[in-house]
Amino acid sequence: MPRPSTPLLSRAQIATAALALIDEAGTFTLPGLAKALSVSPSSIYHHFPGGRESIVEAIRGLLAAEGIETEPGGRDWRRFVEDWSRAYREEFARHPRAVPLLTGQVVTDPETLAGYEAVARVLRDAGFRDETLLHAVTILDSFIIGSALDASAPLGVWADSPDPGSALGSAIRAARNEPARSSERSFEIGLRIILDGLGAIASAVRQDPIEGRPASAGRPPPTGPPGPAGAG
Amino acid sequence: MPRPSTPLLSRAQIATAALALIDEAGTFTLPGLAKALSVSPSSIYHHFPGGRESIVEAIRGLLAAEGIETEPGGRDWRRFVEDWSRAYREEFARHPRAVPLLTGQVVTDPETLAGYEAVARVLRDAGFRDETLLHAVTILDSFIIGSALDASAPLGVWADSPDPGSALGSAIRAARNEPARSSERSFEIGLRIILDGLGAIASAVRQDPIEGRPASAGRPPPTGPPGPAGAG
């Protein structure tokens, strides 16, 4: 039997090639992608009738498949959210230029949604309800995405100051003596602060007998965390 | 006197045009920028001998000049950091595709550095020292950048689930009934959590008589926040 005259092309191959173009140039076009794969644009449309946006979703799927967790297993909410956050940051940090494309459109990739659903479920079990739950997911998401961009940034994020009295300059020089990469440690401290804060909200919700009822039964859940009233 | 035969070109004009190209296409090239401005590439090099990277720094300067604060004035550390964080998020949210270019190179723009220096100074006055201070700035920076990308994302970040038992789907539907834009509220809650956490670290440092001494006098400051030891 003769082999097909056009190269065999898979969705994963197309998404991988698009990601390589984004890594290199910050973006991709369908003609450029077709050229990189030595195929016609119509072969790409054949696999992605939804066009460019559906290719970006397939890239999201590639990253999710590379290690973003979707099953809590026996872990408590905090441990699962920690593991999910670390994996998510790591994947995004490898492809910083893909980040605005990925955050710029609605998440429809099923594997990625399964990860968020797992996070939402453990947060619900921890005490979060509805809008508060969505805020918790968004806060984690924002911190992870920003930390991924920080992790992919040059080692010295800020130019050192020649002024010996500079508070930033002094902090930068001190950080150079740290053994671990500074951004890694910042991420872990920040994640701990956020999980402490979310834990405090969850336990406040659990201790309120009305909020403790199923979401469908009562008044809307609180949207603000407890804590010092310093914020304006 | 005859007018000059080449159009008058300023650094700000060039940076503004480059930002417009990034907003549109996610990136810019020097030939593309020259074409957009109807000048030769050498006119651009005349204003930016440092090339592309120095144009990205000028874009950072444009954004900083549009409202990022550099002077605490009479505000306490927390209020100043809040105001700085909000302004910074707002500027970046207007130009999401510029974010990976801006985070991808060392910050040398003087106005932006002055903003970070002001933040570093108020944090030092609040009790932070050196590495811990740099972690605090990095945590804020990461959260702000991620929140800016979230703010520029489509209104529904995640596709709704048809499964009525989905925790994420239920949270998404509840958020639709919120009066304020959800990402704004998430940012404020997250910022409050982070500032509470940083405040707890700062006050722990202040209460320790050794840590309370000037940075040059003692052992290295702690790099972890107090709080539940749930983090791995």
Q: What is the pLDDT of residues A93-141, one digit of tens each?
A: 999 999 989 998 999 999 999 999 999 999 999 999 887 899 999 999 9
Whether B138 and chain A come into contact, CB under 8 Å, resolves to yes
Mutate to test the interface with A, among B145, B203, B205 (most CBs of A within 10 A): B145
CA distance B145 to chain A (A): 5
Nearest to A175 among B131, B167, B191 (CB): B131
Instruction: Report the C-alpha dihedral over residues A57, A61, A63, A69, rounded to 10 degrees.
Output: 130
Please judge whether B138 and A101 are an interchain contact, meaning their C-beta atoms are less than 8 angstroms apart.
no
Q: How many CB atoms lie within 10 A of CB B139?
A: 25
Largest CA distance in chain B: 77
Average pLDDT over residues A175-193: 84
B97's CB contacts (< 8 A; 6+ apart) are: A26, A100, A104, B22, B23, B25, B26, B27
* Residue environment code for B161-175, b if the CB has 16+ CB neighbours within 10 A, otherwise e: beeeebbbbbbbbbb
Give me the interface pTM, i.e. the ipTM.
0.83
* Contact residues, B window 182-211, toward A, CB-based 8 Å cutoff: 182-183, 185-199
Confidence (pLDDT) at A34: 96
Average pLDDT over residues A218-231: 43
Please judge whether B105 and A154 are an interchain contact, meaning their C-beta atoms are less than 8 angstroms apart.
yes
CA B43 vs. chain centroid, Å, equals: 31
B42's CB contacts (< 8 A; 6+ apart) are: none
Q: How many CB atoms lie within 10 A of CB A4?
A: 7
Confidence (pLDDT) at A43: 94
Whether A217 and chain B come into contact, CB under 8 Å, resolves to no
Confidence (pLDDT) at A181: 66
Query: Which residue type sits at B154?
Result: P
Average pLDDT over residues A172-187: 79
Q: Are B79 and A232 in contact (CB under 8 A)?
A: yes
Q: Is the pLDDT of residue A199 over 90?
A: yes
Contacts of A100 in chain B (CB under 8 A): 26, 96-97, 99-100, 149
Q: How many CB atoms lie within 10 A of CB A49?
A: 8
d(CA A182, CA B115): 21
φ and ψ of A58, to 5 deg: -65, -35
Confidence (pLDDT) at A3: 52
Nearest to B186 among A25, A138, A145 (CB): A138
Whether A13 and chain B come into contact, CB under 8 Å, resolves to no
Q: Are A107 and B158 in contact (CB under 8 A)?
A: yes
Structure confidence at residue A216 as a pLDDT band (50, 70, 90): very low
d(CA B45, CA A43): 41
Confidence (pLDDT) at B227: 43
pTM score of the predicted model: 0.84
Nearest to A146 among B142, B156, B232 (CB): B142
φ and ψ of A217, to 5 deg: -85, -20
User: Which tops the pLDDT comparison, B162 or A85?
Assistant: A85
A40's CB contacts (< 8 A; 6+ apart) are: A34
Q: What percent of chain A has pLDDT over 70?
A: 84
Helices (H), B26-129: 30-36, 41-47, 52-65, 77-93, 99-103, 110-126
d(CA B185, CA A224): 9
Please judge whether A99 and B97 are an interchain contact, meaning their C-beta atoms are less than 8 angstroms apart.
no
User: In whole numbers, what is the pLDDT of chain A averaged over residues?
Assistant: 84
CA distance A167 to chain B (A): 5
Contacts of A165 in chain B (CB under 8 A): none
Structure confidence at residue A86 as a pLDDT band (50, 70, 90): very high
Q: How far is CA A58 from CA A85, A139, B161, in A?
A: 20, 24, 18
CA A141 vs. chain centroid, Å, equals: 5
Q: Chain B: residue nearest A169 by CA?
A: B117
CA A146 vs. chain centroid, Å, equals: 9
Please judge whether A142 and B82 are an interchain contact, meaning their C-beta atoms are less than 8 angstroms apart.
no
Q: Are A26 and B100 in contact (CB under 8 A)?
A: yes
Q: Are B225 and A192 in contact (CB under 8 A)?
A: yes
Confidence (pLDDT) at B220: 44
Q: Which residue matches tokens 């592309």?
A: B52
* Contact residues, B window 63-92, toward A, CB-based 8 Å cutoff: 78-79, 82
d(CA A150, CA A153): 5
Confidence (pLDDT) at B191: 98
Mean pLDDT by 10 residues, chain B (232 residues): 62 96 92 96 95 95 84 89 94 92 91 91 89 91 95 79 83 74 89 96 72 43 44 35
User: Which tops the pLDDT comparison, A162 or A217?
Assistant: A162
Q: How far is CA B145 from CA A37, B76, B93, B159, in A?
A: 34, 23, 8, 23
